[in-house]
Every structure is written in C-alpha cells, then in structure tokens.
A and B are shown apart, each in its own frame.
Chain A
Amino acid sequence: MSDPRTPDVVKEPSMLKQKAMIADNYERLTSAPEAGRKVASTYVPGNLNELIMCFDLLNNLPEINAINNGMRRKSGGMIMEAEKMGHSEDVCTYVKADIGMMAKGNIAPNGKPLPDPDVLLLSYTGCFTFMKWFELLREQYKCPTIMLHVPYEGDGETTDNMRDYVVKQLREEVIPTLEEVSGVKFDIDRLREYLAESARAEDNHVWVLESAKSKPSPIDAYFGGVYYIGPIFTAFRGTPDATEYYRLLRTEIEERMAAGKGPITPEGEMTEEKYRLVVEGPPNWTSFREFWKMFYEEGAVVVASTYTKVGGVYDFGFRHDPAKPLESLADYCLGCYTNRNLPWRVDMLQHYMDAYEADGLLVNSIKSCNSFSAGQLLMMREIERRTGKPAAFIETDLVDPRYFSQANVKNRLESYFQMIDQKRRGGSAPAAA
C-alpha cells in the first residue's frame, strides 16, 4: 500500500521501514522460483497471512499490485489491455488492472516478473467479484484453488454457527490443501506464535488510528491511514517486522502529539486543522496525491475512515487470539468491514462522527466497487439525520484514471468545505432521533 514514489519530504523511520519491507517482499516474490519458495495469491479482506506463513508460502496480493500500479500510473494501460481481451468497462478495475498486468508480463514494481502462484486462496467471499476474479486466475494458472465461503453478516453479528462453519472449512478444506501444495505439515503452535505477534502489532495499530481523536489530529486517518494499514493488512501481519513498524510509528506519533503537531502531507506538515472529516469508501489511487492535496490545501484532515478497516475492524475490539487460533481466524474473515450489514456500518460511522468530533461525513463512492458503494447514499442520509452534521458525496474510481474528474471533485470538495463553514456560523441541531 506504499507509494514507491514516496513523498519528497523528510522520511520518518517508520516510512523507511515500510518501504524496505515492501521492497523485500517483492524481491522475495520475484525470486521465489530460484529460491524454491512457493507462492499463494490471496486478497486483503480476511486474508489468512498467519496461516499462509505456517506453510512457508509467500503471500502475493493482486489488489495491492493493482494499487501499486495505480499509484505508479500504470493501471490505465493495464485496464485497457484487459478491455482488449474482452472485459467490460464496468467490471471492478482492480480485476482489470490485475488481468492487464498479467497480460503485460506480470512485472512487479522491482522490474522483475512475478511468479505464477502455486495456490489461489480466496478467504473472503463477501465480495462476489473476488470469486469471479479467482475463477479467471484459476483458468489462467491452472493451480489448486481454495474458496473459503464466508457468510455475510446480514444480521450485524457473527453467530456461533457462522464461526463453526468457517472453522470447519479451515480444518477440512483450507489446511489440507495448503499442506498438499506446500508439502509442509500444519503446526497449530506455529500458528499461535504468529497470532500472538499479530496481536502485538494490532494493539499499536489501533492506538495509531485512535490518536486522531486528539486535536489537532497528528495523523490523517485516510490518506496517511492507507500507509498505516499497509503492514497489518498484507503479507506482514504476524511478523516481527510488522510489530517493529507499528512500534516505530507509535513513537513518532506520540512525539507529534506531544508537540501539538498536525499530520505530515506530501508537501510537509499541516499547520492548520480547519475541518475534521470522517470518510466512507476507498480512495482514488491514480490521482492519490492530487486528491489528498484537495484536502490538505483547505485544512481538511480525515480523522476516521472506514476504508482503513477493510482488512479488519480492530478498533471495535477484535484481536487475533493465540488461545483460539482457528476461531479467531474465522472471526477475522467474518468481521471485515464490507462483510458488515448497512445498519452496522451506519452505527460505525456515527460512532466515528461522535468519538472523533468530526465536522462532517464525506462519501467517496467508487464507480466499480459495489461492495462498498451499494447503499452509501442512504447511509449518508442517516448520518446527516442522526448527527445534524453536513455530509457530501463525491464519485471517483479505484485504479481507472479515466474516472477521476479533477475539476468536478475539487468543485464538490470546495463547496463542501465552504458549506461546513457556513453551517458552523449558522449553527444547526440534529434532527430528533
């Protein structure tokens, strides 16, 4: 989740650490064939990194590759390549960027080709597109494919039945297949160790996200947040590297907080916090810097975001638990943000609005991601009604550069910020609940 063209500002140790971790991982992946290592491809939401590590498998995440390509402005060409192959304009652009990347030789950011995966592990089926995506990959790679069915939390909670159902699949389907592919016998104590390591990083990760409650917020929990979730949501969770990253990050943010400093942006430190926002929806990656700039230029800081919970809603108490290894993996898969129902998501947003003392809610609706976008306008209305705070709706895309209209987005954001100003002066009260 790191931008390889990292900002031209003073790099803090945590930034350098993350950059090195990502570079190392791509190096490990691209040299896997020579090193005799095997590779699993999987997704961010509900990813089973600790389990994958138990089988000495390397973890390749196609979504992260798509994001990387988006930020390096390569996704546009890849998407067109996929469209040439017959994929529709309306399909998830992560999928098309990935398919196009394969068609163009599957070159990793380090310039070397990524190896074909030895196993495809789909551990979250809350997004139906993921299933179709893996069908395409299975067709391409003809490798063993594991589909872990994760029931949708339609009633807003994880039931024992759901958990048992996922654990049963882990025992009977996922673990045996991974053993077979890797030739490594499953060792539950090894899993417990990784999970304990994860939990250590998770505590600091949550502390970092919640630091945005202070005023001014020392972090931007969306544009900065996507960097902060990098290690915990990807191939590093459960490693001492990730634990060390979050320890470093926490120390840096503690210092910023003590000094009363605002977030660091690509153009240096934000000096004035004029608006505190909650953001729902993923960011746009192809114009990430320009998008961010529209916020920090106006003094807008995102204090909480739902996107930074796609790989796990840790700030509501979940931790990987070595005492209940498979059960906590099941809870993790079941609990990721887009697997929650709409009322739960509304409650979560309201909690953020209140706990982080936000001035308003901004929805960034993604054209090609129905997992996120369905129902967003209704969620927004409900938050407006409950909090009496102004909300706004903008539309962009993940990694298709054709769907980022700079003038349009800027126009709406400026209007929104001025609307917050005007409302502040005019005063307003929430509607009766």
Chain B
Amino acid sequence: MKCYIGIDLGSTTTKAVLMDPDGAVLGRGITNSRSNYATAAAVAKQEAVIGTRLTLFRRGLGEIGPPELMDAFMEDLEHSFRLEQFLEQAEDLRVTCNGFAEGPRFACKEDAATEAVDEVFRRLGDEAPAMFAPGAQRKSDFFRDIAGSRFMHIGEEVAKDAGLGFDLLLNLYDKSIIEVENRPPAGDMAGKFQRALERAIADVPELHADPETAGSAMTGALDVELEEDYVVGTGYGRVTLPFPKEHIRSEILCHGLGAHLMHPETRTVLDIGGQDTKAIQVDPDGIVENFQMNDRCAAGCGRYLGYIADEMNMGLHELGPMAMQATKSVRINSTCTVFAGAELRDRLALGEKREDILAGLHRAIILRAMSIISRSGGIRDEFTFTGGVANNEAAVKELRKLVQENYGEVTININPASIYTGALGAAAFARRAVAN
C-alpha cells in the first residue's frame, strides 16, 4: 500500500502521521526530539507505522464485539505493545550499563555493580506492567523519562542494600542512556505484536477473541507492505531531515492545513508549541492568509510551563490539573519566563498557594497568546487550538474565558490529537504533492 508521511520536528517532541492514498490517517507517532532529529524522525515514523499496523489489524479482524469492548481491547493491545517495547529497551539499557562497569572506578566492584544493575532492572521489569496498564498515570510516555525516573528511585534503594555508592550506578546510567535512546527498539516487531496480542486477549476476556483468528489478522496486518510514496517534513528541525527541499514545508502552512482537516470550519488557529506560539488565519480551504509568531522571546510558549514545572519540581503533565484546583488566580508577569520563575518563588514566600500561582501562570501564557492572535487579525469563528499546550486543561480554561471576553461566542475546537496537527498537515501536503 502506498502511504504518505508527515513529520513535524518540534523543539520538544517529534510527531509523525501516516496517511493512506484516500487521505485517511492510519497511524500517529510521537517521541522526544532528544537533540537528534534524525533519530527522532526515525522513531516517530516507526511509531506511526506501529499505529498503522494496529489500525490495519482492527480492520482485518473486524468488529467482533460491541464498540466499547473493541475499544478497550485495542487500547489494551496498544498498551501491551508499549510494554513489550519498554521491556526490550530496558533490556538494552541493562546490557549497556553492564558493559560500562569496568575500569579503575569499578576496581573490585565490577560484579557487585553488575549484580546491582541486574537487580534494578529486575525490579523495573516487575513494575512495568502496572505502569503500562490502561488508565495508569505517567509523567511522560518517553522511555528516557520513565526509565530515568524509575532508575533513580530503584537504584538508590538497591545501591543502599548492596552497600554500593549510588553514584556508581548513576554513572553507568548516564553513560548509557543517550546511546540507548538513539537506538530505538526495532527488533522482532512481529514477536512483540503477537506477545502484546496474547496479553490483550487475556486482559479482555469478555470479548472472547479467538486467538487463532486474531493471530492471523495480526499476521495479515504485519504483512501489508507500506510503501513510502512521499514524506514531508516540517518544524524547527526540518532542514536537518535527510530529504530534498521540495519535501519541506513551513509549520505555519502545515498547522493551517492540519487544523482545517481536523475541523473544516476553522478560520483562526492558535498553536502553542515548545518554543513558539503561532496565530494563523486560514481561508475556507485551509490556505494560510496571515500569521504572527512570538518575536525574539519564548515567554508564553510551552517551554515557559516546562521551566515552571522544573522550578516547582513537578512533571509538566501535573501543572494543569493542579492549576484546576485553584480558587483564585495570582497575577504573574507574562513577558519573561525567567522573571516568572522569580515571581513564583516570591509568591510562594508570601504564602500564596501553589495552585493559585499556577492558575496565574496559565493565564499569563494565554494572555501572551491573545496578543499574538490580535496582531494576526483576531479570532474568527471557528477557532482551533493546537500544540502541546492544548492538552493542558488549565490553559484551555483560561483561553475559553479570554476568548469569550474579547470575541464573544466562538466555537473553540480542541482535538484530542491536536499535538499531531502539524504532522497531519505535512502528510496531507505529501499526498497532494503526488496527486498534483
């Protein structure tokens, strides 16, 4: 089957969307950009291919039960696959760590260090299924984040029990993680899918999926040859992508088109990404008419929240939910990220509650975006909000409030897949490039 791929190389995450010749999205993939766009692009693409296999599997299997059971089964299947992938990469990390346990620093401690590493990964393997269970809360979905935070936690206990300095284990981890991260799990795809399938069948017995039928549907899905007809890259890392200039589109155009494809009545798009905020006006065909971006300063972008999360020693995903607990909003400077950090400390010292301060920070980010929107020509109905920050409920709440105050009743679209908007537009450009 011919397929069209859009890759959006953002400053924080890299996204890929795989589209079929009819324009239907078959799979999506996301990974952290890890200062290595070539790997990030490869991983995101592989993830989109995995998503595509799952879509093809569901198509091949057919709806063998009520929709909610099918959804639960597919969700379980995906989570199980992620777990398989995680275990494979964790094993790679274990072996790599042990490979570094040598030299003067480890003199006479090689065996103890290796044993400790093995123990850390044994425990990590034990707790992994729970981390990947449907509905489990994770600070991040990326291997580096999950493995890193668990390694710190478990490693400290294990080192203590073994009478080893934790710094030894940390040293092994630090030496290994970048290498492992840039070597994404790619081995034995079929085996991982089949093992995940077995888990999912066992986890959702109510569906009564026949293992043999499901297994051959899986084999069928894996056998479909996915022929990359055209790939379009966008985002900050686009120039580093290993394909020619005609295959590169500006993210402004990709976001405009992507938002139009998700919500065809879209006229104004707001995208808040890692390091830029874009306000885009599009015509009824999704063609960009005007745009504005943040200038010379990334205050008001996703990184603003990332910085605040670091300052507060919280996960980025945790900020929004905490801000939703606020009973009031503390006024925070919106023009400088670093100053906002200082203000945050100042407010904490004055006894303000963390949730109220966070609510103020979310408001600050959206105020900044409102200014950029107004410079691009204001908000027209319908209004589509995309980018990583669109997943943050507290940011969305402030946005709704400010849109209502400034522009009255406007339909606001926030797509659950909004983080893929740019990649979707890029995939559509890829498809059009061939069609034209």
Which chain A residues have a beta carbon within 8 Å of chain B's beta carbons?
Answer: 377, 381, 384, 390-393, 395, 403, 405, 407-408, 411-412, 414-415, 418-419, 422-423, 426, 428
Contact = CB atoms under 8 A, between A and B. Distances in A.
A405 B296 contact: yes
Contact of A422 (B287, B293, B295): B287
Contacts of B251: 411, 415
B250 A395 contact: no
Contact of A411 (B236, B285, B289): B236
A411 B251 CA distance: 9
A419 B253 contact: yes
27 contacts: A377-B375, A381-B377, A384-B290, A390-B289, A390-B290, A392-B291, A395-B295, A408-B293, A408-B295, A411-B236, A411-B250, A411-B293, A415-B250, A415-B251, A415-B252, A415-B253, A415-B291, A418-B249, A418-B252, A418-B253, A419-B250, A419-B287, A419-B288, A422-B287, A422-B288, A423-B288, A426-B287
A412 B249 contact: no
Contacts of A411: 236, 250-251, 293
Nearest to B278: A415
B283 interface: yes
A391 to B, nearest CB: 7
B296 A393 contact: no
A391 B283 CA distance: 15
Interface in B253-284: 253, 276, 283
B250 A414 contact: yes
Nearest to B377: A381
Interface string B287-304: 111111101100000000
Contacts of A419: 250, 252-253, 287-288, 291
Nearest to A380: B290
Contacts of A395: 295-296
A403 B297 CA distance: 10
A206 to B, nearest CB: 33
Nearest to B285: A426
A393 B292 contact: yes
Nearest to A381: B377
B303 to A, nearest CB: 14
- Among A403, A415, A419, max chain B CB count under 10 A is at A415
A340 B348 CA distance: 52
A390 B291 CA distance: 10
Contacts of B293: 408, 411-412
A423 B236 contact: no
Interface of B: 236, 249-253, 276, 283, 285, 287-293, 295-296, 375, 377
A151 B363 CA distance: 45
A419 B253 CA distance: 7
Main secondary structure of the interface of A (DSSP, over half): helix
Contacts of B253: 415, 418-419, 422
A248 B375 CA distance: 45
A390 B252 CA distance: 14
Contacts of A422: 253, 287-288
A412 B290 CA distance: 11
Contacts of A381: 377
A391 B281 CA distance: 12
Given A391-B290, A423-B287, A407 B377 contact: no
Across the A-B interface, the 10 shortest Cβ-Cβ residue pairs:
A415-B250, A415-B252, A426-B287, A395-B295, A419-B288, A418-B250, A414-B250, A422-B287, A418-B253, A405-B296
Contacts of B249: 418
Nearest to A397: B296
Given A412-B293, A415-B291, A426-B287, A407 B236 contact: yes
Contacts of B296: 395, 403, 405, 408
Contacts of A393: 292, 375
Given A390-B289, A411-B250, A423-B289, 13 more contacts: A390-B290, A393-B292, A403-B296, A405-B296, A408-B276, A411-B236, A412-B293, A415-B251, A415-B253, A415-B288, A419-B252, A419-B288, A426-B285
A392 B291 CA distance: 7
A50 B74 CA distance: 83
A408 B290 CA distance: 16
Nearest to B250: A415
Nearest to B295: A395
A384 B376 CA distance: 12
A426 B291 CA distance: 17
B244 to A, nearest CB: 14
A411 B292 CA distance: 12
A393 B291 CA distance: 8
Contacts of B377: 381
Contacts of A408: 276, 293, 295-296
A353 to B, nearest CB: 16
A34 B291 CA distance: 57
Contacts of A418: 249-250, 252-253
B295 A426 contact: no
A412 B289 CA distance: 13
Contacts of B283: 426, 428
A157 to B, nearest CB: 31
- Among A377, A403, A411, max chain B CB count under 10 A is at A411
A395 B293 CA distance: 10
Contacts of B285: 426
- Among A390, A391, A405, A422, max chain B CB count under 10 A is at A422
Nearest to B235: A411
A168 B433 CA distance: 67
A419 to B, nearest CB: 5
- Among B236, B250, B276, max chain A CB count under 10 A is at B250
Contacts of A392: 291
Contacts of B292: 393
Contacts of B295: 395, 408
A422 B288 CA distance: 8
Nearest to A402: B296
A286 B252 CA distance: 27
A25 B251 CA distance: 48
Contacts of A407: 236
A332 B41 CA distance: 58
A411 B291 CA distance: 12
Contacts of A426: 283, 285, 287
Contacts of B375: 377, 393
Contacts of B236: 407, 411
Nearest to B375: A377
Contacts of B289: 390, 423
B81 to A, nearest CB: 36
B422 to A, nearest CB: 12
Nearest to A393: B292
A418 B254 CA distance: 11
A426 B252 CA distance: 16
Nearest to B376: A393
A227 B296 CA distance: 28
